[in-house]
Amino acid sequence: MSAPGEVKNRHQEFGLILVRCIVVVFTFLVVSGVGILVNIPPGIAGILAGLVGFGLIVGALFDVVHVSCPRCGYNANLLRNTGSFKCPECSYDMYIYDGNIKPADINEKQVTWQS
């Protein structure tokens, strides 16, 4: 069983890619539909939809990062900005956010991403 935010296999990662594509297409349709309702010309609504979709793709929407536990070296694939994560091997509590692995205990040093 995987921990919250952990991507255990390629099938889960593929599912995240599909969800990302569905969100981008849905955003295109919503922004274009709002443009039609507000009476914005289709060209401008299309440009706005493209900019919003580009922002979603470039952003960290369901982005998977590779992390290793600083204590035991357990390798895990996690969603970026997962938050709290407990290593299944050594039960080390860490906080994953903003490109860093931060220990749950403030007295311990911070560890950067292991790519």
Residue-wise pLDDT for 78-113, tens only, equals 887 777 788 888 888 888 776 577 776 655 555 555
Question: Whole-number mean pLDDT of the chain?
Answer: 78
Q: What is the model's pLDDT at position 105?
A: 65
Residue type, 82: T
| pLDDT category of residue 3 using cuts at 50, 70 and 90 | low
Share above pLDDT 90 across residues of the chain, in percent, rounded to a whole number:
0
Query: β-strands 100-103, 111-112: how paired?
Result: antiparallel
pTM confidence score = 0.64
DSSP letter for 17, please.
Answer: H
**DSSP letter assigned to residue 14:** H
| Beta bridge pairs of residue 76 | 67
Would you call 99 helix, strand, or coil by DSSP? coil
